[in-house]
Amino acid sequence: MKLNIVRLSETKFEVQGQEVTKDFAEGVMLSGLFASCGRNVDRMTEVCDQYEAAGLSPKGFADEYRKVSLHRAEIAREEDKRRQDAEFFAERNRQMAEARDPLVIARKKAEREAKEAKIRAHGNAIRAARSGGGRALMGYDENDTWV
């Protein structure tokens, strides 16, 4: 519902070509507009947006204004959720694209193999130190001769 609201002075407005006072526009006319909206909260929101843009207050009808406020809050939450989802998936897409880069894959593989080699070397050094250089059996000296 598109309303043509023009402010003529502080207390006079022109609504749909009809000159009315501010009290009439915020009272009788607004009640008629809300009545024509029925239960359609989207249309009520459009009417409230146009009234607020013209400098009129739709807060005189608390029930309808509460519905409009809840509707606006719900829309804001949905937009915020869509924005957060878009940011999450953009970041995820960036990470996935980075993970498919052959240079990055080769670099990570080299780092992993270097780390594994270091761990193996450390384990071999520990085993060598415990076993006495591989001659752990009693009765043998350094020359592997029986004593």
Q: Is the pTM of this model over 0.75?
A: no
Using alpha carbons, list the distances in angstroms from residue 55 to 7, 18, 25, 61, 96.
8, 17, 11, 16, 50
pLDDT at 47: 92
Mean pLDDT of 81-96: 95
**Could you give the CA distance from residue 128 to residue 133 in angstroms, rounded to a whole number?**
5
Share the mean pLDDT of the chain: 88
- Contact at 8 Å (CB) between 116 and 123? no
pLDDT-derived band at 124, boundaries 50, 70, 90:
confident
Q: Taking residues 5-10, what's their average pLDDT?
A: 87
Confidence bin at 128 (pLDDT 50/70/90) = confident
CB environment 77-91: b (16+ within 10 A), e (fewer): eeeeeeeeeeeeeee
Report the distance separating Cα 23 and Cα 18, nearest Å. 14
Quick: pLDDT tens for 108-122.
Answer: 999 999 999 999 999
Dist. CA 127–CA 31, nearest whole Å? 90
Cβ–Cβ < 8 Å for 30, 47: yes
Over residues 36-47, the pLDDT tens digits come to 999 999 999 999
User: Quick one: pLDDT band at residue 129, thresholds 50, 70, 90?
Assistant: confident
What is the average pLDDT across 2-19?
87
The predicted model gives 79-104 an average pLDDT of: 91
| Residue at token pair 């761990």 | 119
* Tokens linked to 61: 């009808």
